[in-house]
């Protein structure tokens, strides 16, 4: 692998890390700027599409749904990247992620005390990357939800 490709791999890893960081920081404008202006974000359970968002505005709107959680934490795992042999400014990749989504469950406040819960998702991101003006972007990001588990969480510190 050439030094040029090592630099590209580093920049693509940084792109997926920035996505996780900005999502967890609730900086949804910054998340959208990681996509091309006409970028696509979609999510699937198996072969069933859960959502499809086109363009930065719809991506920001989709991210707003994460506000129902007290906090999120996206821990990234391995990333595989394959560069297009014909076009040095395009690549595809897959990145594994374990995402924590903490919330308070108060659906039945009369009979059960509110409980803190953690919706843990095993996600694989299938990405199509494009470099424009020397910078890598997501052209398309498809989330595959491999599994979801909900767990009880200890009370928040200080409660």
pLDDT digits (tens, 9 = 90+) for 35-45: 999 999 999 99
pLDDT at residue 141 is higher than 70: yes
Q: Is residue 157 part of a domain?
A: no
Residues 6+ apart with CB under 8 A from 130: 36, 89, 90, 136, 137, 139
Task: Give the CATH number, domain containing residue 80.
Answer: 3.10.450.50
- pLDDT confidence of residue 3: 75
Domain range for residue 135? 3-152
Q: Is residue 53 part of a domain?
A: yes
Q: Is residue 158 part of a domain?
A: no
Q: Is residue 139 part of a domain?
A: yes
Asked which of 3-7, 11-15, 80-84, 149-153 is least confident by mean pLDDT, the reply is 3-7
- pLDDT confidence of residue 110: 56
pTM reported for the whole predicted model: 0.91
* pLDDT: which is higher, 95 or 46: 95
pLDDT digits (tens, 9 = 90+) for 78-134: 999 999 999 999 999 999 999 999 999 877 555 566 788 999 999 999 999 999 999
Q: Is residue 130 part of a domain?
A: yes
Number of domains forming the structure of the chain: 1
């Amino acid at each position: 692998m050439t030094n040029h490709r090592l630099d590209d791999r580093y920049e693509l890893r940084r792109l997926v890390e920035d996505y996780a960081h900005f999502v967890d920081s609730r900086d949804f404008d910054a998340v959208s700027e990681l996509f091309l202006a006409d970028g696509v974000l979609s999510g699937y359970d198996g072969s069933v599409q859960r959502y499809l968002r086109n363009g930065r505005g719809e991506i920001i709107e989709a991210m707003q749904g994460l506000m129902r959680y007290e906090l999120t934490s996206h821990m990234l795992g391995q990333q595989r990247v394959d560069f297009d042999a014909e076009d040095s400014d395009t690549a595809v990749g897959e990145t594994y992620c374990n995402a924590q989504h903490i919330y308070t469950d108060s659906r039945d406040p009369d009979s059960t005390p509110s409980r803190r819960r953690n919706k843990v998702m095993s996600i694989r991101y299938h990405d199509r990357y494009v470099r424009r003006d020397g910078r890598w972007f997501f052209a398309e990001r498809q989330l595959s939800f491999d599994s979801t588990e909900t767990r009880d969480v200890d009370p928040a510190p200080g409660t």
